[in-house]
Amino acid sequence: MSQKVAFHTLGCKLNFSETSTIGKQFLRKGFDIVDYNDHADVYVINTCTVTDNADKECRQVVRRALKNNPNGFVVVTGCYAQLRPEEIAKIDGVDAVLGSNEKFNLFDYMESFEKKDLSCIHVSPTEKLDSFHSSFSTEADNRTRAFFKVQDGCDYKCSFCTIPLARGKSRSADPETVVKEFKELLAAGYKEIILTGVNVGDYGSVLNHNHTLDHDQDYEQGHEPQINLYSLLKMMLKVEGDYRIRISSIEPNLLTDEILELTANEKRMCNHFHIPLQSGSSKILRMMQRRYRTEDYSDLIRRAAGKIDDLGIGVDVIVGFPGETEDDFIETYNFLRDLPISYLHVFTYSERPNTKAMDMEGQVDIVERKKRANMLRILSEKKRREFYERMKGKKMEVLFEYENHDGYMKGFSSNYVRIKALYNSEIINKFAQVKITEVDENICTAENLSINVH
Ligand code: SF4
């Protein structure tokens, strides 16, 4: 009988895509993948460092594994494992800790999955995190949208962030490999490809290839063509087919006018951007060591919204950063209220070891941080509702997903509006033209469905 492995992933889509790559290593070795709540021989936990209680969460997930099989071999990997290997190795029941590089060659480090008295640690230092491992994943039971990693690591130095320590320097997938894997994803039936990475907009930063790119401007100016996210998108869009491309998130200073133009003129580019802001106070942005001022951000948002029809814009924001006074927070609140954005992802600041922010003065009281986060979450609901209301009566293109929820199917439009309609298996995983008729809490209802081909 084949051995069984189960996975649990914490954190972002990038982690999910990487878990899927680790899964392939096990499949190649003849393992079956089972649910995390089932009896497995090996449990792999892919951790995150951004979550507030990485340590507590990790312990809980280890306990769950051992409840399912007390003799199960537990491997912990991911960002938290890279940053705190010794701490994790001390957790009861953990057999192996693998760093960010090692997880991609798991079987080189694990000769057997026999439990021993002491757990083993294989973690390279941060400066050795320089290789690129491509990966992609899909949401559970969803063969509609694929998360496709094209970039890893980050060279920025935001004062609150430990990701560069956990993931190393910015590096990118070779563009030809990206195009090849992109074609494979399309051939496998995925219709929406979501480009992911730690800092996707920085794509190409450390590539040094002699690729022939269709980057007219560079040629005209006599420069060697540069490889960047824009040129990668142009290469991908040369592939024929019925698909759309979404950029998972992009730093405001990297969202160039050429990407905006491309999005405005190319139907296969989703008219949706997720653009981290983090604070609406330039004072706080400086302390965060972000690379733009509030006025740069608002110019960008207004320029983008003016250029691209019905553009959906999501924004990350952190509240309670050290030194954020009530007035600074109100500045952030008003700044966001007045921008044409469609939703927020609100994060409550929490201290991370080895960050500059941890030692800053003016730490904000926890209760106050939570209060500010709640205020912004309410603002986010209001913004989303307003944006959805604007879509009422409009014709939109939706990609409906596989599940049938009480007679309804759900999906997203290109501009990231969640839409439901009466279930119709003919329309699943096809681009459907719909008309929005109603807006509820967090979803629009649509009718008049017809299949649309790009
Ligand atoms: S851009 Fe800033 S917040 Fe984002 S991963 Fe890099 S250092 Fe962290």
Query: Within 6 Å (CB) of ligand 1, which residues are found?
Result: 154, 156, 158, 161, 163-164, 198-199, 251
Distance 251 CA to ligand 1 centre (A): 9
Same domain, 134 and 107: no
Same domain, 385 and 403: no
The enclosing domain of 101 has a CATH number of 3.40.50.12160
Q: Give the end of a domain, one of 248, 270, 292.
A: 270
Mutate which of 13, 82, 83, 154 to test ligand 1's pocket (most atoms within 8 Å of Cβ)?
154
Distance 154 CA to ligand 1 centre (A): 6
Q: Which is the closest atom of ligand 1 to the Cα of 167?
A: 5
What per-residue confidence (pLDDT) applies to 70? 94
What per-residue confidence (pLDDT) applies to 208? 45
pTM to 2 decimals? 0.88
Protein residue with least CA distance to atom 8, ligand 1: 161
pLDDT classification of 119: cutoffs 50, 70, 90: confident
pLDDT exceeds cutoff 60 at 134? yes
Distance 150 CA to ligand 1 centre (A): 16
Residue-number span of the structural domain to which 410 is assigned: 395-451
What per-residue confidence (pLDDT) applies to 214? 46
Can you tell me the mean pLDDT for 373-378? 98
The enclosing domain of 278 has a CATH number of 3.30.750.200
What per-residue confidence (pLDDT) applies to 282? 96
What per-residue confidence (pLDDT) applies to 220? 53
pLDDT exceeds cutoff 90 at 181? yes
Same domain, 179 and 254: yes
Distance 275 CA to ligand 1 centre (A): 12
Same domain, 212 and 165: yes
What per-residue confidence (pLDDT) applies to 209? 41
Same domain, 245 and 142: yes
Mean pLDDT value across the chain: 90
Q: Which is the closest atom of ligand 1 to the Cα of 155?
A: 6
Same domain, 72 and 142: no
Mutate which of 169, 196, 199 to test ligand 1's pocket (most atoms within 8 Å of Cβ)?
199
What per-residue confidence (pLDDT) applies to 221? 54
pLDDT classification of 406: cutoffs 50, 70, 90: confident
Q: Which is the closest atom of ligand 1 to the Cα of 289?
A: 2
Can you tell me the mean pLDDT for 116-132? 84
pLDDT exceeds cutoff 70 at 139? no
pLDDT classification of 126: cutoffs 50, 70, 90: confident
What per-residue confidence (pLDDT) applies to 215? 47
pLDDT exceeds cutoff 90 at 258? yes
The enclosing domain of 417 has a CATH number of 2.40.50
Same domain, 77 and 114: yes
Protein residue with least CA distance to atom 1, ligand 1: 156
Give per-residue pLDDT as tens, 219-247.
455 555 579 999 999 999 999 999 999 99
pLDDT exceeds cutoff 90 at 53? no
| Separation of alpha carbons 14 and 20, rounded Å | 10
The enclosing domain of 252 has a CATH number of 3.30.750.210
- 24-33, 53-62, 359-368: which has the minimum mean pLDDT? 53-62
What per-residue confidence (pLDDT) applies to 213? 44
Same domain, 278 and 350: yes
Same domain, 22 and 43: yes
Q: How many domains does the chain have?
A: 4
Give per-residue pLDDT as tens, 382-401.
999 999 999 999 999 999 98
